[in-house]
């Protein structure tokens, strides 16, 4: 307990005895190793493997992709992120994946006052960041952002489509879809503040629809029931 003793000696000598006493108390509470400031608990934790059956999302039966591996990590007490790597039948670079971030409603005043940094930006994309992301995700491919949104079980989402032809004449198509769920009136349970989804899948062939359909029909399981958005007709689609 050398560190505590030193603090106590200083307390006896200096005019800031009260402050030093507080230091002693903190020292006694924390031991000789000091204490870690609260912000450290708000930083992203390490990624940990998670079994597909423990994921808060279910792919629809008959989906052309399957779960290869999944990882999760917490960002403070408010956010939990999931990275689900999906199978990829193409020879293109980059992993097929579903990214999912769940933002909980803080259950303590301190968490509400000092929230961790959100692991995704809002708006999810700007023109510039989308262009940079498409370039990174689909290098050397022609990417087009869809004019109109598409709708899945939980609401509207936006997406982009990229395609390429390799030397042997094989056509591959990729889609990137992104969605932010904030509908507390119907879709999200009270404990969940927001859910962010991103679907990045490449497949063989020139038709992007089979690549988007699993995203249209996936199911979220967040403890409490997540309701479907009203079953509106799918809006006009480009593809």
Return the bridge partners of 81, or none.
Answer: 73, 101
- Chain-centroid distance of CA 214 in Å reads 18
Q: What are phi and psi of 84, to 5 degrees?
A: -110, 115
Nearest CB to other proteins, comparing residues 66 and 234: 66
Contact residue for other proteins among 3, 8, 58, 69 (CB under 8 A): 69
Stretch that binds other proteins, among 63-71, 112-120, 126-134, 148-156 (CB under 8 A): 63-71
Nearest CB to other proteins, comparing residues 65 and 194: 65
Contact residue for other proteins among 3, 4, 8, 71 (CB under 8 A): 71
Give yes or no for residue 132 binding other proteins (CB under 8 A): no
Contact residue for other proteins among 166, 171, 225, 228 (CB under 8 A): 166
Quick one: CA dihedral 168, 145, 120, 101, positive or negative? negative
Contact residue for other proteins among 32, 109, 113, 168 (CB under 8 A): 168
Contact residue for other proteins among 18, 61, 167, 169 (CB under 8 A): 167
Contact residue for other proteins among 39, 60, 129, 186 (CB under 8 A): 39
**Which positions from 73 through 112 interact with other proteins, judged by CB under 8 A?**
85, 87-88, 91-95
Q: Which two tokens stand for residue 190?
A: 């009270």
Give yes or no for residue 118 binding other proteins (CB under 8 A): no
Measure the CA–CA gap between 222 and 29, rounded to whole angstroms: 37
Residues 6+ away with beta carbon under 8 Å from 10: 20
Residues near other proteins (CB under 8 A), total: 23
Shortest distance, position 41 Cβ to other proteins, whole Å: 10
- By the 8 A CB rule, do 229 and 155 touch? yes
Stretch that binds other proteins, among 7-15, 38-46, 123-131, 178-186 (CB under 8 A): 38-46
Interface positions with other proteins (CB under 8 A): 36, 39-40, 43, 46-49, 68-69, 71, 85, 87-88, 91-95, 166-168, 170
């Amino acid at each position: 307990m050398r560190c505590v003793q030193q603090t106590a000696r200083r307390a006896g000598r200096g005019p800031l005895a009260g402050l030093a006493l507080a230091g002693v108390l903190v020292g006694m509470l924390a031991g000789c190793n000091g204490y870690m400031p609260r912000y450290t608990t708000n930083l992203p934790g390490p990624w940990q493997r998670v079994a597909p059956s423990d994921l808060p999302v279910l792919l629809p039966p008959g989906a052309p992709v399957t779960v290869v591996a999944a990882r999760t990590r917490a960002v403070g007490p408010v956010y939990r992120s999931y990275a689900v790597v999906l199978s990829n039948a193409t020879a293109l670079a980059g992993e097929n994946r579903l990214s999912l971030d769940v933002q909980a409603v803080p259950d303590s005043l301190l968490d509400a006052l000092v929230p961790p940094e959100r692991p995704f930006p809002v708006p999810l994309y700007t023109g510039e960041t989308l262009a940079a992301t498409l370039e990174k995700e689909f290098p050397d491919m022609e990417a087009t952002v869809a004019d109109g949104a598409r709708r899945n079980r939980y609401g509207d989402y936006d997406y982009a489509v990229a395609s390429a032809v390799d030397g042997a004449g094989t056509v591959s198509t990729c889609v990137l879809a992104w969605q932010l769920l904030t509908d507390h009136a119907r879709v999200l349970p009270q404990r969940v503040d927001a859910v962010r989804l991103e679907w990045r899948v490449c497949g063989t062939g020139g038709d992007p629809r089979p690549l988007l359909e699993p995203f249209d029909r996936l199911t979220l399981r967040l403890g409490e029931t997540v309701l479907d958005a009203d079953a509106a007709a799918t809006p006009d689609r480009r593809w």
